[in-house]
C-alpha cells in the first residue's frame, strides 16, 4: 500500500500543469478562482484546447478517441486543472451520454455523436427530471409516440422536462421518455436523443436563488424525433439511465474543486483580519478549516479506492453513493466557510461586472464578491444527482439490507 504519487505520476501532474498554464485563458482562470459565472465560450475555449491536445476524452477508452488514462491519472488531471482554475468540463456529453452511447448505442450513433462530443461541436444537456418526477424519476410522463410517414419512422414527443442545467447553451438533449404505460413504470421508459433546434422545443429559464440563470424548463410540443435517435431498445431506457447515474455519482464528488476552494480559503484566511489578527489565527475558524481539510483527504482516498475498484471491474460497492453524499456535504461546508471568512463583506449583492461599470471604489473586499452567491448556489449539491436522502435510501436498502 502506498498513498502517495510515484515519480511517474508526479511527472504527469507537472505535464498537465504546464499544459494548463500555457493554454488556459488567464481571464477565465481568474473567473473560476473567484467563483464568477462562466460563459458558454469560456467553457468551450478550454474544451477545444484540450481537444487539440487529445486530452478531452478523460475516462474514455482509446478506441473512441479517449485518453485511456487510468483512474489515478484521471484524478491527477482533475486535481491539477481545477487547481489552475480551469473550468469544469461539462459532464453531460463527455461523462453522461457518451458512456451510454458507447455501451448501448449502435455503430452509426457512435460514429455520429461521439466525435462531436469530443470536439465540442455538440453541447449536451440532461432531460430526466420533470415537475412531478424528481426523486421518483420512474414516474416520468413526457410521452413519445412512435409513428411512420413518408419521411420515415419517428417519435412525436410531448411533455416537459425541468431543472435542465445549462440547457440554454445546449445543442442536444438526452431524454427519458415514456413509450409505454403497460406493466411496471420502469418498463415503459426509453432513452431518446433530441436536437434542441427541433420545431416544438421551447427552453424557459429558471432563475436560481443566487439570481443566476443556470437551469431551465424544456417543453416539448409535438416534437418530431427520427426513430434512429432511440438508444438501444424501446422500453429499456431505465436500464441505461441507471447505468448513467452510477457514472454521475463518482464525478459529482468534486474533489478537485474542493481542493481548489481549500487553497483559496487559506489565502483568504490569511488576508482577512479578525480582532486585529489574520483570521487564520482565530482558533475557531482555523479548527473549522482543519476539520474540512481532514474530511476532504478522507474523501480523496475513498474516491481513489472506488475508481480503482471500478478499473479492476470489481463492483464499486457502497462507496459510490457515500462519495456523492460526503462530497456534496464537503463542498457545502467549504463554500460556507468562505462566506464566514468574509464576515459582513458577505452581505452585499453585486452583479457581475457591476462594480467595474459603476466606476466607484468598491470597499467590501473583492475577494468575497461571489462568496455568498456560491454558498447559496451550492445548496443544490445535496439535491441534484439523486438527493442525499435518496442516496441514503439506496445504501440502506442495497448495502445494509434494511
Partner 1 sequence: MNFSLNDEQTALKDTLAKFIERDYSFDQRWKITESDVGWSREHWNKLAEIGAMALPVAENDGGLGGSGVDTMVVMEQLGRGLVVEPYIGCVILPVALLTQGASDIERAGLLERIGSGESMVAFAHTDAGSRYEREQLKTRATFANGAYSITGKKIAVLGGDCAELLLVSAKVGQDAAASLFLVQTSASGVTRFPYPMQDAQRGADISFVNAPAVLLGERASAQAAIDYALDAACAALSAEAIGVMSELQKITVEYLKTRKQFGRAIGMNQALQHRAVDMLMHLEMSRSMAMEAAVAMSAPDAKARAKSVSAAKVLIGQACRFVGQQAVQLHGGIGVTHELNVSHYFKRLTMIGASFGDCDWHLARYGESLLAA
Ligand X SMILES: Cc1cc2nc3c(=O)[nH]c(=O)nc-3n(C[C@H](O)[C@H](O)[C@H](O)COP(=O)(O)OP(=O)(O)OC[C@H]3O[C@@H](n4cnc5c(N)ncnc54)[C@H](O)[C@@H]3O)c2cc1C
Catalytic site positions: 248
Residue 72 binding ligand X, by CB under 6 A: no
Residue 55 binding ligand X, by CB under 6 A: no
Measured distance CA(61)–CA(215) in Å, rounded? 31
Q: List the interface residues with ligand X, window 128-157 (CB under 6 A).
A: 128-129, 134-135
78's CB contacts (< 8 A; 6+ apart) are 58, 255, 256
Pick between residue 74 and residue 387 the one whose CB is nearest to ligand X.
387
Candidate residues 150, 363, 400, 402; the one interacting with partner 1 per rule CB under 8 A: 363
Helix (H, G, I), strand (E, B) or coil at 326: helix
What is the per-residue binding string for ligand X in 8-47, x denoting contact by CB under 6 A? Answer: ----------------------------------------
> Residue of minimal CB distance from ligand X?
134
The single residue listed with the C-alpha cell 474523501 is 299
Residue 209 binding partner 1, by CB under 8 A: yes
Range in contact with ligand X (rule: CB under 6 A) among 12-20, 121-129, 196-204, 283-291? 121-129
Pairing, β 152-161 against β 124-127? unpaired
Q: Residue 167: how many CB atoms within 10 A of its CB?
A: 27
Pick between residue 152 and residue 401 the one whose CB is nearest to ligand X.
401
Pick between residue 61 and residue 205 the one whose CB is nearest to ligand X.
205
Range in contact with ligand X (rule: CB under 6 A) among 158-166, 196-204, 227-235, 321-329? 158-166
* In contact, 66 and 51? CB cutoff 8 Å: no
Q: How distant, in Å, are the alpha carbons of 356, 362, 365, 368, 374 from that of 350? A: 10, 10, 12, 11, 13
Query: With contacts defined by CB under 8 A, how many residues of the chain interact with partner 1?
Result: 58
Least Å from the CB of residue 337 to partner 1: 11
Least Å from the CB of residue 284 to ligand X: 30
Q: What are phi and psi of 97, to 5 degrees?
A: -75, -30
Q: Residue 190's beta-bridge partner residues?
A: 177
Q: Is 309 left (phi over 0), alpha (psi -120 to 50) or beta?
A: alpha
The grid cell for 132 is 412531478
Candidate residues 156, 350, 383, 395; the one interacting with ligand X per rule CB under 6 A: 383
Pick between residue 306 and residue 339 the one whose CB is nearest to partner 1.
339
Query: With contacts defined by CB under 6 A, how many residues of the chain interact with ligand X?
Result: 18
Q: Choose the one of partner 1, ligand X, none that binds residue 373, judging by a C-beta under 5 to 8 angstroms depending on kind.
A: partner 1
Measured distance CA(250)–CA(319) in Å, rounded? 9
The grid cell for 179 is 413509450
Residue 393 binding ligand X, by CB under 6 A: yes
Pairing, β 273-274 against β 277-278? antiparallel
Q: Which residues bind ligand X (CB under 6 A)?
A: 125-129, 134-135, 163-165, 215, 380, 383-384, 387, 389-390, 393
Amino acid at each position: 500500500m502506498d498513498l502517495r504519487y510515484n515519480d511517474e505520476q508526479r511527472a504527469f501532474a507537472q505535464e498537465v500543469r504546464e499544459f494548463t498554464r500555457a493554454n488556459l485563458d488567464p481571464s477565465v482562470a481568474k473567473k473560476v478562482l473567484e467563483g464568477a459565472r462562466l460563459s458558454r465560450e469560456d467553457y468551450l475555449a478550454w474544451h477545444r484546447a484540450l481537444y487539440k491536445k487529445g486530452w478531452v476524452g478523460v475516462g474514455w477508452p482509446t478506441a473512441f478517441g479517449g485518453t485511456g488514462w487510468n483512474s489515478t491519472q484521471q484524478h491527477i488531471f482533475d486535481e491539477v486543472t481545477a487547481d489552475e482554475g480551469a473550468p469544469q468540463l461539462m459532464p453531460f456529453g463527455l461523462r453522461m451520454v457518451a458512456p451510454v452511447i458507447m455501451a448501448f448505442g449502435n455503430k452509426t450513433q457512435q460514429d455520429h455523436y461521439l466525435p462531436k462530443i469530443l470536439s465540442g461541436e455538440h453541447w449536451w444537456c440532461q432531460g430526466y427530471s420533470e415537475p412531478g418526477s424528481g426523486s421518483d424519476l420512474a414516474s416520468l410522463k413526457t410521452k413519445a409516440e412512435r409513428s411512420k410517414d413518408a419521411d420515415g419512422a419517428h417519435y412525436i414527443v410531448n411533455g416537459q422536462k425541468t431543472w435542465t442545467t445549462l440547457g440554454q447553451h445546449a445543442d442536444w438533449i438526452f431524454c427519458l421518455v415514456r413509450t409505454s404505460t403497460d406493466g411496471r413504470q420502469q418498463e415503459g421508459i426509453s432513452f431518446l436523443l433530441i436536437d434542441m433546434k427541433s420545431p416544438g422545443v421551447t427552453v424557459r429559464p429558471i432563475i436560481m436563488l443566487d439570481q443566476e440563470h443556470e437551469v431551465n424548463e424544456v417543453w416539448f410540443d409535438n416534437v418530431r424525433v427520427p426513430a434512429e435517435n432511440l438508444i438501444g431498445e424501446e422500453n429499456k431506457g431505465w436500464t441505461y439511465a441507471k447505468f448513467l447515474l452510477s457514472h454521475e455519482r463518482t464525478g459529482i464528488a468534486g474533489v478537485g474543486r474542493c481542493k481548489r476552494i481549500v487553497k483559496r480559503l487559506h489565502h483568504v484566511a490569511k488576508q482577512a483580519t479578525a480582532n486585529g489578527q489574520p483570521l487564520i489565527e482565530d482558533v475557531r475558524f482555523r479548527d473549522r478549516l482543519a476539520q474540512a481539510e481532514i474530511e476532504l483527504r478522507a474523501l480523496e482516498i475513498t474516491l481513489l479506492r472506488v475508481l480503482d475498484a471500478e478499473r479492476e471491474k470489481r463492483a464499486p460497492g457502497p462507496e459510490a453513493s457515500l462519495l456523492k453524499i460526503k462530497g456534496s456535504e464537503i463542498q457545502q461546508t467549504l463554500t460556507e466557510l468562505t462566506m464566514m471568512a468574509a464576515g459582513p463583506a458577505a452581505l452585499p449583492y453585486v452583479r457581475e461586472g457591476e462594480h467595474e461599470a459603476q466606476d466607484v471604489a468598491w470597499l467590501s473586499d473583492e475577494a468575497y464578491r461571489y462568496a455568498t452567491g456560491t454558498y447559496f448556489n451550492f445548496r443544490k449539491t445535496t439535491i441534484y444527482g439523486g438527493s442525499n436522502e435518496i442516496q441514503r435510501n439506496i445504501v440502506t436498502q442495497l448495502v445494509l439490507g434494511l
